[in-house]
Chains A and B, each alone.
Chain A
Amino acid sequence: DIVMTQTPLSLSVTPGQPASISCKSSQSLLHSDGKTYLYWYLQKPGQSPQLLIYEVSSRFSGVPDRFSGSGSGTDFTLKISRVEAEDVGVYYCMQGIHLPGTFGQGTKVEIK
């Protein structure tokens, strides 16, 4: 199985400041069709996960533009340009190029 490694595992951010989460995969997530199957999810406290980003950098419907994804091959980053109180929770990256889809360990984001 592909191993997904996130850093850091926790992050404390002042509201209005940026935040960045790294995700590295043990194999390239680039498919021969030209797409890279890397997703980001946010699990807010007490809630189920929700999709934020698909195929590295495409924001899902309704996701604020302060969230952005980037990267290629095996190295990916989720950035929040200005953290808001509602952004707290655990962020997970997930790969979809190899079955089973596997998730990173999660990065807990809290507000200072």
Chain B
Amino acid sequence: QVQLVESGGGVVQPGGSLRLSCAASGFTFSSYGMHWVRQAPGKGLEWVAFIRYDGSNKYYADSVKGRFTISRDNSKNTLYLQMNSLRAEDTAVYYCAKGGVAMVRGVIITRAFDIWGQGTMVTVSS
């Protein structure tokens, strides 16, 4: 069945790095854009980053720009999020989600996130 499985979360000190992975199955991964969305403990949802199906376009939330890098390996059906210079406010459950971003008449629109992973917890603490 269609599935996304995240891994790589853990506890890291402020200023440290972590790489998250998201393994996809049950659909043609190489045909779809993918996102990372996070949720701080007890809080709402925050979009983090997007990568186009072929890796050619990437977008980031201002809060992570310059520190996080989204990438993908279509031969391994896997999405990644490299997180550097981590801060306490990056503490959250990180979800990968399937969904597109498209330029429609000059406006970048975000399509619905139709499949979500179960999430992986990242804790930034000394």
User: B-contacting residues of A (Cβ < 8 Å)?
Assistant: 31-33, 37, 39, 41, 43, 47-51, 54-55, 60, 92, 94, 96-106
Contact = CB atoms under 8 A, between A and B. Distances in A.
A11 B36 CA distance: 29
Interface of B: 37, 44-47, 59, 61-62, 95, 101, 104-105, 107-114, 116-119
A31 B116 contact: no
Contact of A37 (B44, B109, B113): B109
Contacts, number: 70
Nearest to B63: A100
A100 B38 CA distance: 13
A96 B33 CA distance: 14
Contacts of B104: 31, 33
Contacts of B59: 99-100
Nearest to B93: A48
A31 B110 contact: no
Contacts of B101: 99
Contacts of B114: 51, 54, 60
23 contacts: A31-B104, A37-B110, A37-B111, A39-B112, A39-B113, A41-B45, A43-B45, A47-B118, A48-B95, A49-B37, A49-B113, A50-B116, A51-B114, A60-B112, A60-B114, A92-B44, A92-B45, A99-B110, A101-B47, A101-B110, A102-B47, A105-B44, A106-B44
Contacts of A99: 59, 101, 108-110
Given A51-B112, A54-B112, A97 B118 contact: no
Contacts of A31: 104-105, 107, 109
Nearest to A104: B44
A47 B117 CA distance: 9
Contacts of A97: 107, 109-110
